[in-house]
Amino acid sequence: MKKPSSKIRDEIAKLQEQLKLAETREAERIGRVALKAGLGDIEVDEAELQAAFEELAKRFRGGKAASNGKERGGPGAVTPQTAPISSGAGTSSAGEA
């Protein structure tokens, strides 16, 4: 049985609200981690910071490109050895495979 379009619109509206809440939670989490890492004190262009975050995301995904269709480099362009992110004691290579 097919759903009426009004029901589908209601479901879409609910899902959009859920998405908004999930994105807010994720942004707050990432923001807290970034502040703890000292990124709040660094004056850097937002586009440059976003590019660094995209490279970091690739690193933690095992070199796979982001699924948002905005690949900046070729496959496997970033490795843990070439990742531009480094800070304090948290960047030790001990325990990495």
Domain parsing of the chain, residue ranges: 1-62
Q: Say what the pTM is.
A: 0.54
Residue-wise pLDDT for 30-69, tens only, equals: 999 999 999 889 898 999 999 999 999 999 998 655 455 4
> Is the Cβ–Cβ distance between 87 and 37 less than 8 Å?
yes
Q: Report the distance separating Cα 25 and Cα 77, nearest Å.
A: 30
Q: Tell me 41's DSSP state.
A: G
Neighbours of 20 (CB within 10 A): 10
